[in-house]
Amino acid sequence: MRMFRQVIVMLLLVALAACSTGGGLVEAPPEQQRAPVEDYAIGIDDIVQVTVWRNPELGITVPVRPDGRISVPLIGDVMAAGLTPAQVAADIQEKLGAYVRDPQVAVILTDLRSHEYLSRVRVTGAVRSPVSIPHRQGMTVLDAVLAAGGVNEFAAPDRSSLYRKSGSGTTSYAIRLDKIINRGDLSTNFTVAPGDIITVPERAF
């Protein structure tokens, strides 16, 4: 009987020790618990919400413009693209200090749309309706130009170009749009990639 009681006591002591250490569970380090969005670099077309504590009139919810900036009341344009929400908040807070006493600024991403912006295909220049369209699998130069309404009467279609980001630079490809559209020559009817820009120049008069 005495041996049985000693075993029970030992089991109770072990159980109490386990409870004091959280049942043997180890809490994850803070860097693993942190929400990934805190480290997210804001992109063009993302929607950001700026709030200023006790100054609701200074709050805004806006998309990041193509130049990477947002416009904030009192201080004007602030760079957002390429920065984290915390970095943008710190910049706004510092600039607002000239107008607001001890401003407390928070920047929150409400809609992550930059990935969709970067994947678009753009057609510019002498076309009827310059456009920015979502990329589709298998899309060609002709598909994109037709989405822009085709070339206009001032175009020099055979001097068109496709520009594609390549590493740290840009690679250009000559497009013979007149041959594609009027002669059925598809040798330069390239398959486009996300982020491509097609430019149709005007002809010289």
CB atoms within 10 A of CB 116: 14
Give pLDDT tens digits for 65-88.
989 999 999 999 999 999 999 999
Asked if 31 contacts 104 with a C-beta cutoff of 8 angstroms, the reply is: no
Give the count of domains, the chain.
2
85-131 pLDDT, tens per residue?
999 999 999 999 999 999 999 999 998 888 887 889 999 999 999 99
End of a domain among 116, 150, 177?
116
Predicted TM-score of the model (pTM): 0.54
196 and 136 fall within a common domain: yes
Query: What average pLDDT score do residues 144-150 get?
Result: 97
pLDDT of amino acid 119: 87
Confidence of residue 22 (pLDDT cuts 50, 70, 90): very low
111 vs 22 pLDDT, higher one: 111
Q: Please list the residues that pair with 160 across neighbouring strands.
A: 175
Q: How confident is the model at residue 205 (pLDDT cuts 50, 70, 90)?
A: low
Q: CB–CB of 68/44 below 8 Å?
A: yes
| 18 part of a folded domain | no
The label of the residue with tokens 């009139």 reads 57
φ, ψ of residue 71 to 5 degrees: the values are: -105, 125
State which residues form the domain around 84. Answer: 36-116
Indicate if 100 and 133 belong to the same structural domain. no
pLDDT digits (tens, 9 = 90+) for 179-196: 999 999 999 999 999 999
